[in-house]
């Protein structure tokens, strides 16, 4: 949602501490035997501080005595959710599938699993950030561990991988619109959409309006094409650009906007979105989850905490509280890159704003960039291209060197020595004509 920007309050308190609240989890996770794709995952014991930095940053131990998301339901429109993962066991309701967990073949669509299977891992990661319990080692946990997840499968392909035209997901914008309406009709408190469309679709816009009118807070990712050319990096994305939707950008551990995070007036707040931990659908964990998909999940988790504390609020009140309690980031706020700053769960649940009135909502148009912003983006794109060229050149030089050294060593073993080419070192062409001089340079290599 686009709002009237307001000054920020105090900075977020960053503390590295062990989490003291114990959350009960049960069941045994397993990789879905019907999923054919291979996944990259690590055990809970292998999660390092480098990937649990978001948990350290938010230090939810301070928040849970006040709210844990109890009694709140968050709809996750994604690739489904692997309900038997240890940190999600008992937290996932039976939802609805608009597409099979894996198959793209219309004849093989199995839509009867309630979306509690996930062959991609994306939806499981999002759900874990929102409502996951503590991992075995206690290093990973979600923001609202007592909230329930309602999975709605609208995708089964990685949103960060380019696809051929003939490999598009079977779901359409109309399907997603129907999924939004269905979730709203289940009286969910929050609808998380870590997905985007590049064009405005009437049915999608209408569905978002319907959900907000029903009392659901809609949170959407702000897009991951920020490192592309300017017309793409700053083009509006939907549903994040629709009025009333909380649009979310991504930052790294230094609270600097990630290169991939798109930017424009639809970014209301930012959240962790690179190299973060999240549950994987095989029962283990991803240690490189992120993008604005992960960032949106942190915001949805924060809304879930507020929904427990203030169940009678309207969607715009939750949005106002999230936006007006956002904390410091590396760049200026308010801005196109950072919105109003970093979502801050502690400030959101503890600060009581005296005039928590609905925020002003306007339409979102493509941003008008200043010369400084355009130059900064072009400089960054140039650095990316230069780094790629240098990297490829270094790899090529390495292989040339290795090949050359190997050739010289072989030459020494067989007695090669450097000398001038002689007449004997010439070869005759297969057709008629003069002899072709072959400058061999290394004695012994004769036709």
Other beta carbons within 10 Å of 210: 15
| Whether the Cβ atoms of residue 182 and residue 154 lie closer than 8 Å to each other | no
Is the N-terminal amide bond of 334 cis, ω within 30° of 0? yes
Of residues 216, 221, 293, 320, which has the active-site annotation? 293
328 catalytic? Reply is no
281 catalytic? Reply is no
Of residues 78, 100, 113, 425, which has the active-site annotation? 78
CA angle 223, 52, 226 (to 5 degrees): 20
Of residues 32, 100, 122, 268, which has the active-site annotation? 122
b/e map of 378-397 (b: 16 or more CB within 10 Å)? eeebeeeeeeeeeeeeeeee
431 catalytic? Reply is no
Residues taking part in catalysis: 78, 122, 293
């Amino acid at each position: 949602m686009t709002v009237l920007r307001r000054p920020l309050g105090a900075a977020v308190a960053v503390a590295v501490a062990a989490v003291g609240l114990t959350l009960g989890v049960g069941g045994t996770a397993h990789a879905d035997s019907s999923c054919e794709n291979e996944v990259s995952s690590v055990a809970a014991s292998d999660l390092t501080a480098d990937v649990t930095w978001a948990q350290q940053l938010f230090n939810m131990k301070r928040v849970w005595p006040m709210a844990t998301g109890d009694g709140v339901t968050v709809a996750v429109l994604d690739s489904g959710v692997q309900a038997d993962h240890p940190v999600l066991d008992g937290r996932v309701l039976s939802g609805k599938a608009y597409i099979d967990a894996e198959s793209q073949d219309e004849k093989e669509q199995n839509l009867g699993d309630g979306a509690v299977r996930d062959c991609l891992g994306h939806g499981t990661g999002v759900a874990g950030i929102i409502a996951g319990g503590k991992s075995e080692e206690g290093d990973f946990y979600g923001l609202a561990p007592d909230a329930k997840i309602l999975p709605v499968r609208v995708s089964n392909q990685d949103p960060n991988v380019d696809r051929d035209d003939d490999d598009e997901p079977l779901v359409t914008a109309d399907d997603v619109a129907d999924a939004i309406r269905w979730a709203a009709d289940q009286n969910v408190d929050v609808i998380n959409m870590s997905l985007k469309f590049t064009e405005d679709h009437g049915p999608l816009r209408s569905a978002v309006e319907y959900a907000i009118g029903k009392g659901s807070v809609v949170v959407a990712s702000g897009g991951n094409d920020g490192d592309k050319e300017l017309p793409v990096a700053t083009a509006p994305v939907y549903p994040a650009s629709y009025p009333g939707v909380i649009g979310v950008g991504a930052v790294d551990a230094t609270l600097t906007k990630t290169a991939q995070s798109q930017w424009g007036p639809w970014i209301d707040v930012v959240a962790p979105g690179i190299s973060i931990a999240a549950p994987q659908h095989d029962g283990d964990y991803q240690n490189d989850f992120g993008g604005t998909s992960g960032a949106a999940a942190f915001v949805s988790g924060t809304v879930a905490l507020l929904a427990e504390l203030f169940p009678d609020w309207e969607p715009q009140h939750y949005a106002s509280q999230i936006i007006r309690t956002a904390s410091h980031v590396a760049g200026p706020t308010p801005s196109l890159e950072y919105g109003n700053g970093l979502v801050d769960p502690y400030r959101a649940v503890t600060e009581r704003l005296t005039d928590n009135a609905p925020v002003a909502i306007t339409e979102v148009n493509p941003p008008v960039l200043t010369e400084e912003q355009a130059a900064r983006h072009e400089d960054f794109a140039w650095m990316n291209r230069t780094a790629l060229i240098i990297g490829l050149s270094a790899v090529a030089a390495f292989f040339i060197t290795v090949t050359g050294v190997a050739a010289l060593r072989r030459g020494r073993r067989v007695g090669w020595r450097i000398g001038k080419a002689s007449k004997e070192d010439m070869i005759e062409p297969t057709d008629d004509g003069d002899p072709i001089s072959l400058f061999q340079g290394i004695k012994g290599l004769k036709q």
